[in-house]
Amino acid sequence: MQDWFLERLTASLVRTFGTSAAGDLTLTIERLVVDFLDAFRTSQQAFVAFPLLNRSDPSMRDRDAQASRDAGAGIAQLLQPHRSEIAHPEPALAADFAYRTLLLAYLQTEHHGVG
């Protein structure tokens, strides 16, 4: 189930990466946020199980950690054409932060029924 979810999330991000890089930075970020949240919403039930499974299965934790690194790297790649517009001195760190912020935004909106 986790693999299925991660494959869906990756496919969604790849679509975003492939179609947004040529646009301006604002449109790229908007598309990233919308596609990211849509991927999580369409797989919400699979995603909810991960915290429980990650507690008891080290291999699940490892795959989840790798998926997080891959998502951060993908975001860094997506934003690379806009590097001159981004003031952060460490793009990889900023991209990882962006991924984690999107993840937490999803969790917060879904937990409070805002989404």
| pLDDT for position 52 | 65
- At 11, which amino acid appears? A
Of residues 41 and 17, more confidently modeled = 41
**2 and 64 Cβ atoms separated by less than 8 Å:** yes
What is the per-residue pLDDT for 50?
Answer: 66
Q: What is the pLDDT of residue 48?
A: 63
d(CA 65, CA 57): 13
The total number of structural domains in the chain stands at: 1
Q: Which residues contact 62 (CB under 8 A, 6 or more apart)?
A: none
Domain of residue 72: give its range.
Answer: 2-111
pLDDT tens string 50-74? 666 677 778 877 877 887 788 788 7
What pLDDT shows up at residue 28? 82
